[in-house]
Amino acid sequence: MSDFNNLINFLNPYRGQNGDRRREEYQFIRIDNDFINENQDLKSNNLTRVIRYKDGRPFNNPFSEIITELPLYVSTANKSLTYFFQKDFNGQTKYISIEDLIKGETSEENFLALDDSAFIAIRVVTEEALFYNEEQNSVYLLNVVLREVIISVRKTLEYNPKELGGLSSGVYYVDYTNAKGYRDNFIDRTLGKITTEISEEDLNRRHVNLTLNPKPGKLYRFPDFQIDKDQVTVYYDYDMIENDDYEVEPLKEDYAIKLKFRDPEGFLGFMVEVYFLNGVSILNTTEGSGNRKSDFSTKYIEIIQILLKKRSKNNITEKLTYLYYVPQEIFQKKFRGLNFGEEYLWQLVQEAAEEAITNFRTNKEDIVLKLLEAIKLNQDDEYNVDQKKNDLFLEELLKRRTKDKSSLLYKLTKRIDGEQFIKFIDFIWQIWKNSSYAVTEETKNEKVKITKTSPVLLDYRTNKVLGFYTDNAEITWKDEQNQLDVTVRVKSGEKEVPKPRINFDDGKVTFEDTGETRIIDVFQHIDYQYHPFSPISFVNSENPQFLLQDGETTNATKTILPAFVLFANNEKAFWENVFTSLEYALDVVTTISGVANIIKAGRLLRVLQKGKTVFYKTTQGVKTVAEFADGVVEVTSGTVNALLKLTGAEDTELGKLAAKYLFYLEMASLAGGISASLERKLKNTATELVKNSKFEGSLDDLVKKGDLNDVDKVKITAEMRLISKKGIKKRLDVDRVAQKFVRFVSVKSDDVSKIIKKAEEDILKLAKGPNGKTLPENQLEYAFIYNESKGFRTLKPFTSNAKTYINIDDAFDVGELTIDRLKSFKGAIYTHNHPNFTRFSNADIKTFLQYQLKEMRAINTDGIIYSIKLKNGFKLTRQEVTKGFKVLRRKKKQWIKQFNLNIKEETDRILLQDFEEEFLLNTFGNKIDYRIFI
């Protein structure tokens, strides 16, 4: 590979005599009042700069690099700026001075809570670093750019094959950054294979067959191209005039250097490495001898045209891949028959929006953003100054619809969910700022209506506690109507309410009247309707944690934004600040075992820091489902919501535990796999939560505030106890009806006979198959019946060879279910397995009642046991059961007729089963003891 890089360096038409391939300029820009006054514009000519042309880290005095991940703020309270770095401690924002940071005095006591009303955040992007000038007591920003001044431009290439570092004719692989973001080096190849992003086919695309003419001579700086089917060949010819000093006769030689690329992508990558990264303009046709540069540009454009219009005509991924390598300047105008006009570019974006837009494998996010920027270039409005053109751009985003009728704006906001998300939002935001939509005066905005239901000033508030972002709004985007519904929760007053004592005993909730009262806040919900580009303003001091910031305005007291940015802010990475904590960042690596998962964690970290959330949202809890090797973990939205609220509890330790538990849960969800270490951390954290003396009391407080109901509190406590005892992989199923009757009790209190326990062990073994590896979805149901008082038991667990039911007739090897055999069921214990992890079915409850069993039991694959039996002192006569069943049949017929159900349809059958369960529990539940042993 390194041999071929010698050729890459040689072919660079702008290579200086010292052989530098790319000359970079290192600009140290002082962060001072001029920097702030110029809105932190690195291109401004009014900034103090120190320029160097060599990296040479560590840089010599007076610059010393500031090693920190903390965000930089400057105070403008005095004439000269003061520098501070920000960090959160238990939800409180504090600052450390530049002097203490440089000295390494970074303990918590050196961070102070300051008045930050005059503070301004400094934008530092990936390519930049911070440096400290001790002599000036100033902070400098390092900005690395390609040097604009070319030292030496060669008229010809002085070719001698012996001076190419031993390079000879043969097959090579071109080292360039491909459309998936990988180069051809050992590290990238290894990581690419681990993450499954690159394959052998990607390596083959780099394949080039090199032929070198042994005769030295002077070559034209720009080559000739030929394309045959999918293969591009590049020829470097001897200059027809400049070879008087050489023995070579150009007319008799076909070429000096010939490169035949197996795949067009290899050719495109080669062009980037040799020409475009070195400042060669495809549109400047005046360079070089004769018409060589003009022909070079023309033929390159023709090849792009063939690739886009013929080879990849119906394949948007392939089109985007080719466009990844095309220099941005090509979009500025029409060139020799190839039209990158606005319509063509919009169509490409529209095609791309029909599929997932990610930077996993092909970097589609980067390319789509490049196309959107190209549209502005094509409008001759690169800096968004033309209001009419900005209006047209925004209108296209709303007017153009994907196949599912979604607007392009909505689709892109939802689908660009990785590293380019913030850049995309800011790009649209800056266009909007100079459009007619941004006018905030009601009478002057001709694009959208500003009314009482769509006011400019919105009482929108955000907050962050222990790394968790919350807001006071629910936002729904009704895309078909070009409308955002925003419901804001605001305090409207206070009221006095009773203060009962709520007791929680073994899963049962009781209330005790204390005669006391307490004052609580009263909130009201106000509904608004906005156009996606309606102007909205809110006070920055009340929104210090608003995740998406205007890329140009850093010191305003108010933020003015298009309404869709509120929606986008909700999509932003919920865990962004959690990951900035060293403790959690280290947990990512130490918790997820295996090289592949460590790489995956690194990618997740990058996406979450720059993109939007994968699972959690700021205004709603969601059901999280993570794929594991042997099943799934399901965490109810109620638990997520409650734990999110607990992160703001006054008890800091409890809040930390809740945040920690949700962090590990998110990592399990994102990683798509779970190690023993991560499962242990989840289990241990759940145990700490349950044992925390204020855990249940805090849940009681949520009940008092109306943020949680009693049933959900029981469910959440049981769920956390379950995970703390059984681990994250254990599952249980309790619906809203069963919640009214279920008691969660310790498995230690299960006093069933050893015969039943042994039978349940055998049942689980049978269900898992002879090798113990049968998946739950493929397991059969088995049952066992035991009646101690009548001396009856089935010989062994029996099955009807079905996955979802058992016929009780199959309890006997031979013969029918006689009256005598039926009598043996009365007072018996009937146990069976539920491979699908479900609770008792309507059929289970009917069997319990119909055969007057002592106990009905079901054990799922995780060993969770469901049990129903009559409460002590209660009886159910056959007449009561028969009467209940008759009423059930009548009610069921009425229900089927009322809702026009078809029992042949599976969904309708499930509804009927749920109806029967609800009826039976409501009818007989007061006499039934329904337990779940955990």
Which is higher by pLDDT, 827 or 513? Answer: 827
Q: Copy the structure tokens of residue 742.
A: 């279920």
Model confidence at 922, pLDDT cuts 50, 70, 90, reads confident
Bond before 535 cis per omega within 30 degrees: no
Residue 372 identity (one-letter amino acid): L
Residue 186: Cβ-neighbour burial (10 angstroms; 0-12, 13-18, 19+): exposed
Look at 463-477, 598-612, 913-927 and tell me which has the smallest mean pLDDT.
598-612
Half-sphere exposure of 247 (CA within 13 A, CB side): 4
CA 796/CA 525 separation, integer angstroms = 61
CA 237/CA 251 separation, integer angstroms = 10
Dihedral sign, CA of 416, 417, 422, 426?
Answer: positive
Q: What is the pLDDT of residue 435?
A: 94
Q: What is the pLDDT of residue 18?
A: 40
- CA dist 285 → 115, 289, 292, 294, 685 (Å): 58, 11, 8, 4, 66
Q: What is the DSSP string of 563-627?
A: THHHHHHHHB-TTHHHHHSHHHHHHHHHHS-SHHHHHHHHHHHHHHHHSB-SS--SS----EEEE
Model confidence at 300, pLDDT cuts 50, 70, 90, reads very high
CA 822/CA 576 separation, integer angstroms = 63
CA 413/CA 429 separation, integer angstroms = 12
Q: What is the DSSP string of 84-131?
A: EEEEEETTEEEEEEHHHHHHT--SGGG-B----TTEEEPP--TT-EEE
Which is higher by pLDDT, 302 or 472? Answer: 302
Residue 151 identity (one-letter amino acid): I
CA 470/CA 730 separation, integer angstroms = 30
Strands (E), 153-296: 157-159, 170-173, 207-212, 217-219, 224-228, 231-236, 257-261
Q: How many CB atoms lie within 10 A of CB 188?
A: 18
CA 872/CA 850 separation, integer angstroms = 19
Q: How many CB atoms lie within 10 A of CB 290?
A: 11
587-610: average pLDDT:
40
Q: Which residues, 6+ apart, have CB-to-CB distance to 32 below 8 Å?
A: 48, 80, 81, 138
572-582: average pLDDT:
36
| Strand 855-860, strand 829-834: pairing | parallel
Element holding 222 (H helix, E strand): none
Look at 149-153, 678-682, 711-715 and tell me which has the smallest mean pLDDT.
149-153
Is the per-residue pLDDT at 396 higher than 80? yes
Is the per-residue pLDDT at 326 higher than 60? yes
CA 665 to mean position of chain CA atoms: 14
Q: What is the pLDDT of residue 814?
A: 61
774-797: average pLDDT:
88
109-120: average pLDDT:
88
Q: What is the DSSP string of 333-350?
A: S-BTTB---HHHHHHHHH
Bond before 214 cis per omega within 30 degrees: no
Q: What is the pLDDT of residue 347?
A: 92
Q: What is the pLDDT of residue 673?
A: 45
Contact 63, 112 (CB under 8 A): no
CA 569/CA 470 separation, integer angstroms = 11
CA 646/CA 641 separation, integer angstroms = 9
> DSSP code of 856?
E
Task: Report yes or no on whether pTM surpasses 0.75.
Answer: no
Q: Which residues, 6+ apart, have CB-to-CB distance to 878 below 8 Å?
A: 852
Model confidence at 476, pLDDT cuts 50, 70, 90, reads confident
Q: Which residue has the tokens 């500025």?
A: 332
Q: What is the pLDDT of residue 625?
A: 25
SS3 assignment for 151-165: CCCCCCEEECHHHCC
Q: Copy the structure tokens of residue 306.
A: 């063939």
Axis-axis angle for helices 316-325, 364-378 (nearest 10): 70
CA 774/CA 833 separation, integer angstroms = 14
CA 326/CA 304 separation, integer angstroms = 8
Is the per-residue pLDDT at 274 higher than 80? yes
CA 712/CA 50 separation, integer angstroms = 62
Element holding 70 (H helix, E strand): none
Which is higher by pLDDT, 601 or 288? Answer: 288
Q: What is the pLDDT of residue 445?
A: 93
Which is higher by pLDDT, 415 or 260? Answer: 260
Model confidence at 813, pLDDT cuts 50, 70, 90, reads low
* Region for residue 12 given its phi and psi (left: phi exceeds 0; alpha: psi -120 to 50; beta: otherwise): beta
Residue 520 identity (one-letter amino acid): I
872-887: average pLDDT:
87
Is the per-residue pLDDT at 682 higher than 90? no
Is the per-residue pLDDT at 337 higher than 50? no
239-268: average pLDDT:
90
Name 97's bridge partners. 84
- H helices present in 174-233, as ranges: 186-194, 200-204
Q: Which of 350, 359, 365 is nearest to 411 (CA)?
A: 350
Per the prediction, the chain carries an average pLDDT of 76
Q: Which residue has the tokens 């001072």?
A: 32
Q: What is the pLDDT of residue 592?
A: 39
> By three-state DSSP, how is residue 362 classified?
coil
Q: How many CB atoms lie within 10 A of CB 306?
A: 16
879-898: average pLDDT:
84
pLDDT tens digits, 432-455: 999 999 998 888 999 999 998 999
Element holding 8 (H helix, E strand): helix 2-11
Phi, psi for residue 643 in degrees, rounded to 5:
-65, -35
What does the buried/exposed string (b/e) look like for 839-868 if buried means 16 or more CB atoms within 10 Å of the residue's CB? bbbbebbbbbbbbbbbbbbbbbbbebbbbb
Look at 108-117, 150-159, 380-389 and tell me which has the smallest mean pLDDT.
150-159
Angle at 71 (CA atoms; ends 69, 74), nearest 5 degrees? 140
Contact 632, 626 (CB under 8 A): yes
Is the per-residue pLDDT at 336 higher than 70? no
Q: Which of 312, 226, 322 is nearest to 272 (CA)?
A: 322
pLDDT tens digits, 36-65: 888 888 877 677 777 665 544 444 556 778
Q: Which residues, 6+ apart, have CB-to-CB distance to 582 below 8 Å?
A: none
CA 861/CA 847 separation, integer angstroms = 22
> DSSP code of 750?
-
Model confidence at 602, pLDDT cuts 50, 70, 90, reads very low
CA 224/CA 839 separation, integer angstroms = 73
SS3 assignment for 659-706: HHHHHHHHHHHHHCCCCHHHHHHHHHHHHHHHHCCCHHHHHHHHHHHC
CA 115/CA 92 separation, integer angstroms = 13
Is the per-residue pLDDT at 836 higher than 90? no
Is the per-residue pLDDT at 263 higher than 90? yes
CA 741/CA 738 separation, integer angstroms = 5
- CA dist 507 → 635, 739, 932 (Å): 19, 10, 10
Most distant CA atoms of the chain, gap in Å: 118
SS3 assignment for 491-510: EEEEEEEECCEEEEECCEEE
Contact 705, 759 (CB under 8 A): no
